[in-house]
Amino acid sequence: MTVINLADQAPFTTQDGSTIRSILDPTNAPVQNQSLAEASLPSGATTRPHYHKASEEFYFIVEGRARMTVAGVTRDVRPGDAILIPPGTRHAIRASTPLRFLCCCAPPYSHEDTFFDD
């Protein structure tokens, strides 16, 4: 059994600009097909619009409010909302208040699978 506590995970900044703490991924557990992380953004911050060629991604809003854009469609999101981001789909999130959300990627998140148009 593998048990990882979020409080024990060191934060890092992803290429899109969010602060991440890995919960389970290939760097800290025998994970093969997915990853789970907690992301956070301060109020007013926006991730850089990007896409992942390989990974399907879920965001689950835990705390705060934001404007989520996926494939050019923008919606307000709040705690309890889950967002599907298919592979190859450009997306970004802008925090309206301090924001905390879970990110699940399959296959696991990697910096090498993060792409920008500019």
Give the mean model confidence (pLDDT) for residues 91-95: 98
Query: 107 preceded by cis ω (within 30°)?
Result: yes
Residue 12, in any domain of the structure: no
Local confidence band at 23 (pLDDT 50, 70, 90 cut-offs) = very high
Q: Report d(CA 98, CA 76) in Å as an integer.
A: 14
Local confidence band at 16 (pLDDT 50, 70, 90 cut-offs) = confident
**What is the pTM assigned to this prediction?**
0.94
Residue 96, in any domain of the structure: yes
Residue 66, in any domain of the structure: yes
Give the mean model confidence (pLDDT) for residues 15-39: 94
User: Over 90: is that where the pLDDT of 101 sits?
Assistant: yes
pLDDT more than 70, % of the chain:
99
Using an 8 Å Cβ cutoff, are 93 and 16 in contact? no
Residue 15, in any domain of the structure: no
Say which CATH number the domain at 52 has. 2.60.120.10
Residue 109, in any domain of the structure: yes
| Count of domains observed in the chain | 1
Range of the domain at 30: 23-113
More confident residue, 16 or 102: 102
Using an 8 Å Cβ cutoff, are 95 and 44 in contact? yes
Read off φ and ψ for residue 50, nearest 5 degrees: -155, 175
**90-to-34, 65, 77 alpha-carbon distances in Å:** 20, 20, 17
The model's pLDDT over 74-91, given as tens digits with 9 standing for 90+, comes to: 999 999 999 999 999 999
Using an 8 Å Cβ cutoff, are 67 and 96 in contact? yes
Residue 111: predicted pLDDT: 87
Residue 78, in any domain of the structure: yes
Q: Over the chain, what is the mean pLDDT? A: 95
